[in-house]
A and B are shown apart, each in its own frame.
Chain A
Amino acid sequence: DAMVIQNPRYQVTQFGKPVTLSCSQTLNHNVMYWYQQKSSQAPKLLFHYYDKDFNNEADTPDNFQSRRPNTSFCFLDIRSPGLGDAAMYLCATSRDRMGLISEQFFGPGTRLTVL
């Protein structure tokens, strides 16, 4: 089945130790998104790629970076995780831009714990 896969599902890191979260998709979608969702809050968009075009949200901290080496994969790098970065990180894809009757498909998420 075509899907959005995130690895790992659970990640524990130490304060200040870099961590990378992975997302892959078999849908061949053009757009990939990364969201951060803290406990009892709504998902918050960090950035997205439209093909290779990177779009950063204005309030995304510099501590968060992303790479998309090919259509199928997208990575979220947190250079120096702080306690406030503990959250669920959701990856999503869409065939095209949202204004073109395109729906987002979400992966299962990676729960990040920072010790």
Chain B
Amino acid sequence: ELKVEQNPLFLSMQEGKNYTIYCNYSTTSDRLYWYRQDPGKSLESLFVLLSNGAVKQEGRLMASLDTKARLSTLHITAAVHDLSATYFCAVVYNTDKLIFGTGTRLQVFP
């Protein structure tokens, strides 16, 4: 069974700082997704990473995928309060389902 782990589980960071969230998964998969979830809301798709070495950027967020290391990173540059949310990575398993990571709750303070 595929296991997907994120760290840290909770991240409190000051505005303007940089940080990286890590997503490790246990078996082979070449597709990985990042989602954002605000409290009480549904999931918002951020990035779809489809191949080894894929890198995507949107605003202050940049995601990358290393399928050989079974690792994806979500890098936050110069954090702002609006980025406060929970971030999930999710990996495709058996071609027909997503397995979600444990989630990282990000809190950005002034």
Contact = CB atoms under 8 A, between A and B. Distances in A.
Interface of A: 31, 33, 40-45, 48, 50, 55, 88, 90, 97-101, 103-109, 111
Given A42-B101, A42-B102, A98-B31, A108 B96 contact: no
B96 A99 contact: yes
Contacts of A41: 103
Contacts of A40: 103, 105
Contacts of B18: none
B33 to A, nearest CB: 7
Contacts, number: 56
B103 A55 contact: no
Contact of B96 (A98, A101, A109): A98
B96 A90 contact: no
B42 A48 contact: no
B92 A108 contact: no
Interface stretch (B43-51, B55-63, B66-74, B75-83): B43-51
Contacts of B110: none
Contact of B42 (A97, A101, A106): A106
A103 B33 contact: yes
A107 to B, nearest CB: 6
